[in-house]
Amino acid sequence: MTLHHVRRGSGAPLLLVHGLGAGSQSWGPILDTLAAEREVIAIDLPGFGQSPPLAGEVSIATLADAVAGFIQEQGLGTVSTAGQSMGARIVLELARRGVGGDTVALDPGGFWTDREVAVFSGTLRPSIRLVKTLRAALPTLLGNPVSRSALLAQFSARPWALSAETVLPDLRGLATAPSTGAAMDALTKGPKQAGAPAGTLPGRATIGWGRRDLVTLPRQAHRAVSAFPDAELHWFEGCGHFPQWDAPDEAARLILDRTS
């Protein structure tokens, strides 16, 4: 499958892989900053944005297969990758397979205990249902700091400080993407993320985590680093699940500094 993607800027290529939500638009808050220094390729995963869903099983493995196929199809070779949430898990899976080059994973899923993943599923699924119910009213609700804070309390450490333009694409994507439900099943019912022994990754690896992440809890960061012992851990202080929302300058700088 050919994935829909956006290319911006010039320089060494950098592949961006989004999480649940808007597809490539999820990188909107930092795309210009990244593209000022790099050729940025922001993809829509299958069933998100403008990419069609997978014909068969939706799993982390098959989504990673689709991204690996895109890298090969586009002749990107040892391209550096950055991902957030589900996308962060996918870029770590690619690195584990030896695909790509340097890797930056922001708040990845897959490093939870059984109890933690049950809580994740039990809280995020109702949030997705609520967003679907409120889809038509989202622009109005997100334009008010009080209702915006109520809707985004699980995702952002400072939802009142965000603009509606920043967050609307991701919430609208949660409500409308054909593969949201299947991807949630892949995350919550599929296997946890496998790790990579020291010395086996194709490039540098950096795992970034928000200290106030309520989706993938901060204590999971140490499990991620244990699974990927070559990875360097970076903490985003006062940040929730979306570093590109809560700390856009820091998130962009980390990605640029830790990839080549």
Please choose, from the candidates 20, 153, 135, the residue with its C-alpha nearest in 3D space to the C-alpha of residue 88.
20
Token digits for 30?
Answer: 């930092």
pLDDT, residue 253, reads: 98
pLDDT at 2: 86
Residues for the chain: how many in total? 260
For residue range 236-260, what is the model confidence (pLDDT) as tens digits?
Answer: 999 999 999 999 999 999 999 999 9
CA 249 to chain centre: 17
Structure tokens at 45: 């995963």
Residue 158 structure tokens: 């400072």
Tokens in use for 176? 């409308």
Low-confidence spans in the chain with pLDDT less than 70: none
| Burial class for 128, CB neighbours closer than 10 Å (0-12, 13-18, 19+) | middle
Q: If you ran DSSP here, which 8-state letter would residue 259 be given?
A: -
Amino acid at 251: A
In tens, the pLDDT along 157-176 reads: 999 999 999 999 999 999 99
- Specify the pLDDT at position 21: 87
